[in-house]
Amino acid sequence: MRILIHGINFHPEAAGVGKYTGEMANWLAAGGHEVRVVTAPPHFPQWRVPLEYCAWRYDRQQLRVPAMPGAVLGAPLPSEARTMEVFRCPIWVPKSPNGLKRLLHLASFALSSLPVILLQMRWHPDLVLSVEPTFFCAPQALLAAQWFGAKAWLHIQDFEVDAAFEFGDLANSRGLDLALAIEYWLLRRFDRVSAISQEMVGRLKRKGVDASRCVLFPNWVDAKIIFPFPHPSSFRSELGIAEDTIVALYSGSMGKKQGLDLLLDAARQLSHRSDLRFVFCGEGPYRQFIFEKCQALSNVTLLLLQPSERLNDLLNLADIHLLPQRADAADLVMPSKLTGMLASGRPVVATAHPGTQLAAAVQGLGIVVPPGDTDAFAAAILTLAADKDLRVSQGQQARRYAVTHLDTPVILDRFERTLLEVCGICEARNEDEPVQIEGVAAP
């Protein structure tokens, strides 16, 4: 099967949507499908394009595809290995991606990638798979699929339109009505629309997508690469953290939707606890703000985003994982970092209102407190810090859940089968309920 993937984020981005789109493309190509990717130069979460790439130039790459899931995409391989063709399109990357700047950033890729998408007509793909963000690319995915005679699939990592208004990036009510009307019209025309959590799938149905065309396609984790160490992480000695010190770790993007002020407030409130250390690791537009505020806090260590080969070391540094989230983001986005947290076998302290998908995902695998409540957040950290048996128990539950429900083969093998069904290559489903990747209880 020929699969054309269109998304703004892709390998070698080590975090967020780019990581998952890269691994998905790798899985499909390693499985024998012909895969082409139209994307932008890597720029997330640092919000800058590395020197080895150019933000203003079209580029064409041949990435060699590992035969086994978990191997590094693009790494040196035997000459007979399969390849994947990747087209990089120009993009404008703002230093502070807020409001109108973020929309212009997304629109720049949608415009620059349009001719590249249409040129794939000569390749005759069977499926056009568009990844949101950015929703700006949805119209051209539909147009291309119609011209190619291909199936159209939209995979939603973030509800971009809803988030733009609910996070305050845009505030015009007429603009919201128009954007939602356009979104409604487009969503109903895809052959399949997938999302990464049950609540997001429910929102799709409320937006007018027929249940038979909704697919639950959650993010995943390679449980062979992310796993609990039987010994302390090497980061402890590198950072000078004693083995009996409790480490509360936040690792991920440092942006608007994360609600990172809560981390600083909790660290400040617990600064008198010499047995507790906060480690904040990541990149993003809020990193400089976090760095400046941390200067006065002796119980905080700030790290840059770590390379993928050190991710398991980093996650094993934690005794407790921290997952703050803004209240208005709880059902618009599902934090991609959660899968690695669970696979590392550590409990999670998350912020979410009862009844949200994030609250349900962390239930029994950590402690959930209301968003923005510093006292409750700090109290949850202290509860886990004081009770090793509880940390171990919830960590074991988290690991078990990740292996059973979120491991790479569990998710991607079933996703591949669903793609084949949609394209009529194997027997289609006959169900009235939303399609769900079988055996998966998505976070």
- pLDDT tens track, the chain, 443 positions: 999 999 999 999 988 899 999 999 999 999 899 999 999 999 998 899 999 999 999 999 999 887 654 445 555 544 456 889 999 999 999 988 877 888 899 999 999 999 999 999 899 999 999 999 888 999 999 999 999 999 999 999 988 777 766 655 555 666 678 888 899 999 999 999 999 988 889 999 999 999 999 999 999 999 999 999 999 999 999 999 999 999 999 998 887 666 788 999 999 999 999 999 999 998 888 888 888 888 889 999 999 989 889 999 999 999 999 999 876 655 556 788 999 999 999 999 999 988 888 888 899 999 999 998 999 999 999 999 999 999 999 999 999 999 999 999 999 999 999 999 999 876 544 444 444 444 444 45
Residue 82, SS3?
coil
Tokens of 389: 């048996």
Distance CA 264, CA 257 (A): 15
Closest CA to 280 of 312, 316, 304: 304
Nearest to 341 by CA among 388, 397, 267: 397
161 close to 175: Cβ distance less than 8 angstroms: no
Cis bond leading into 134, ω under 30°? yes
110-127 core/surface letters (b: 16 or more CB in 10 A; e: else) = bebbbebbeebeeeebbb
83 bridge partner residues: 64
Domains of the chain in sequence order: 2-220+407-436 (3.40.50.2000), 234-405 (3.40.50.2000)
The pTM of the full predicted model, rounded to 2 decimals, is: 0.88
What are the Cα distances from residue 225, in Å, to 311, 356, 393?
Answer: 9, 29, 21
Alpha-carbon distances, residue 193 vs 67, 99, 131, 147 (angstroms): 28, 26, 10, 19
